[in-house]
Structure 1
Amino acid sequence: MMDILVVLEDKSGNIHRMSQEAIAGAQQIGGECGLSIGVLALGENAPALAEQASQYAVEEILSLENKYLFNYTADGFAAAVAQVVSSENPKYVFFGHTYQIRDYVPRVSAKLKRPFLNDIVSYSVQGGKPVFSKQAFNAKLVTALQLIDDSPCIVSFQSAAFSSDTIQSGLASVRSVTVNIDAGSIKTVPEDPFQETAGGVDLSSADLIVSIGRGISKEENISIAQELAKAMGAEIASSRPVVDSGWLPPHHQVGSSGQTVAPKLYLALGISGAIQHVVGMKGSKNIVVINKDPDAPLFEIADYGVVGDLLEIVPKLTEAIQAFKN
């Protein structure tokens, strides 16, 4: 029997980075609270995901294959996960808080009649049990949540709540499990694998991000940042004012009302650093800020900062990267 069950998400045949973070969180919480850990891999690539997860320090891997899970549907995945949770009866069920999880896990919660503690950013331990914390009112408040009645407790963790770099290695056994899914219960039409956003911009999995703010001055200047991102192999993101101005679609927005990211490098161009933006990117491993305002709040959390005109600096940086690559 496992106390914590971590449900994996498939990212092109590999474990999604935010699922890895959830495993790291399970190991940390499990170690402090004396809880055993299991992992569930499901879908078309379940065997491959299970094999990858078996290299982690957990008790057991569950591998679930079913023809109704080969293409993602909220109905199919919710039915499968709910059945596995009912049969395995863990105390906690952990997920990374991706768009796919937001889509189907509320249905799991409804099927099991159990609460869903979503978008958790941290935890503490009281009385030998975890207390989960999430931000509220644009990160101005923190809410502490602890389940006091019967398990299971369903929890999803915000990006960078834990670091995947801290996952402990091990060797776990793999057990195949089955579920019964009624074809008639799947009311949605299977399409391409669920993307993080409608536009396919998966900022939550990006290693490199170039993010632009109001300091870009006008829409025509966005191409300067896009050329830099192309040279770096990075994704383009933005602060809310850029989206509100209609210069970029909403799925590029980072912050409390956009996506939460934790790339290896977050290059902020002309972003002052409002708290609503900071909460969405503060987990980045390296933060580089270019801004002509030396008092911009984002410099306070930057690893590296350049005070200057981004319209002059960025083209030179792009040229230098292109020259280095050539």
Structure 2
Amino acid sequence: MSGVYVVLEDRGGRISRISWEAVAAANLLAAQSGAKANAVVIGAQTEALAKEAATKGVAKVVRIEHPLLAQYTADGFTTALEEFIRAESPDYFVFPHSYQVRDYVPALAARLGRVLIGDVTAIGDGPVFTRQLMQGRLSGNYKSTGSGPCFISVQSGAFRADTAESAAAESSTFTPTIDAAQIRTKPGEPFRGTAQTVDLGSAQMIVAVGRGIKEADNLPLIQDLAAALGAEIAASRPICDNGWLPIERQVGSSGQTVAPKLYLAVGISGAIQHLVGMKGSQCIVAINKDAEAPIFEVADYGIVGDLFEVVPALTEAIKSARQ
């Protein structure tokens, strides 16, 4: 058997947003051969996850089940997927570029004598896989050579999760042979950067603020706008470096990667380190007094003006429209 498979991750019993983005990437890859991608869910009991996966643009859902897969361990997931891949011989295996994937997939690829093309941002004909270098200053194109499956992971926000078509998929179960002695580590709590981490990656609307705000005492302007929209607040690195907002609200190459429906950038010039974290947003609106600011190159709508005049007027207009 050959084809394209995408491994889905769950967060709190639901499939994560970045997994749906990986499905979109996998279907884009599968379309080059006129096919659809197949999904893989892993655990001890995966029926609920399989039902959720079956409605989102895949041809088939494979349930890899074993009691030793009840909680994530690198050894367990690597062993299970290695056995499945050797049995099914897929062409491509797609993963979301998550902390979990970065933990075990390099070992999986090494066991099979392959490499992982990580953090892919685009897939072209060939297929050719594009990933960023030097914190987004450069892009490199990669092709898989040799025999065996090609492993890729896709960057959060690089592919639109809403492009996956809804369709009922068939389901099958694969039971790997795993011995308890193969699991060398004990599962712990899922990684979180801090106990108060804000998941900006799940936000539908974000108002992001940059150094144009000038000082921390002016942040209530941004907070009022975000409250009027029902949006999360984010920031560029200088704001968080100054301690004006918590580090978990930073967007960019050294912060979170986001892909909301609306990204409103206020007083952000648009350094490449920031752009790589938000360029996957569906609609980008920029407010900046510098008409030559790089942020306008990626913005869908731009307002050239003083944010201290524009933001209050915009906030009042939104409040009035909602009354």
TM-score bracket for the superposition, by shorter chain length:
0.7 to 0.9
Instruction: Find the counterpart in structure 2 of residue 238 from structure 1.
Output: 235
CA contact (8 A) 2:210 2:239 kept: yes
How many Å apart are 1:298 and its aligned residue?
A: 1.2
Query: Structure 1 residues 58 and 230, CA, compared in 2 at 3 Å: closer, same or farther?
Result: same
What pairs with 1:86-97 in structure 2 (closer than 5 Å)?
Answer: 86-97=86-97
Where do 5+ consecutive residues of structure 2 fail to align? Answer: none
Q: Is the 8 A contact 1:227 1:318 kept in 2?
A: yes
RMSD (CA atoms): 2.8
Shift of 1:268: 0.7
Deviations 1:186-222, CA, capped at 9 Å, x for gaps: 424422x445876432222321112111112123333
User: CA separation of 1:195/1:229 partners in 2, compared to 1, >3 Å: closer, same or farther?
Assistant: farther
Distance change (3 Å), C-alpha of 1:234 and 1:86: farther
2 CA distance for matches of 1:81 and 1:134? 24
Query: 2:137 pairs with 132, 136, 140, which one?
Result: 140
Task: Identify the residue that residue 268 of structure 1 maps to in structure 2.
Answer: 265
Quote the Cα distance in structure 1 between the aligned partners of 2:191 and 2:33: 34
Residues 153-188 of structure 1, C-alpha deviations (whole Å, 9 max, x = no match) = 110111333222222333321112223444452424
Alignment of 1:1-326 (within 5 A): 1-34=1-34, 37-43=37-43, 46-126=46-126, 130-184=127-181, 185-191=183-189, 193-195=190-192, 199-315=196-312, 317-318=314-315, 321=318
Q: Per-residue deviation at 1:115?
A: 0.6
1:77 partner letter: F
SS at match of 2:278: coil
Deviation at 1:26, TM superposition (A): 1.9
How far has the Cα of 1:135 moved from its partner? 1.2
Q: Whole-Å Cα distance in 2 between the matches of residues 263 and 12 of structure 1? A: 21
Report deviation, 1:24: 1.8
Output the TM-score relative to the length of structure 1: 0.86
CA spacing shift, 1:227–1:103, aligned 2, 3 Å: farther
Deviation at 1:300, TM superposition (A): 2.9
Partners of 1:275 and 1:123 lie apart in 2 by 21
Contact 1:2 1:38 in 2 (8 A): no
8 Å CA contact retained: 1:3, 1:91 = yes
C-alpha contact (below 8 Å) 1:260/1:279 kept by paired residues? yes
Aligned length: 322
Alignment gaps of 5+ in structure 1: none
Q: Match of 1:121, SS?
A: strand
Give yes or no for contact 2:2–2:88 (8 Å, CA) kept in 1.
Answer: yes
Give the counterpart letter for 1:14 in structure 2. Answer: R
Q: Within 1, Cα distance between the matches of 2:79 and 2:322?
A: 48
Q: CA deviation at 1:140?
A: 2.6
How far off its partner does 1:146 sit? 1.1
Residues 314 and 101 of structure 1: CA distance in aligned 2, closer, same or farther (over 3 Å): farther
Q: Distance in 2 between matches of 1:28 and 1:64?
A: 24
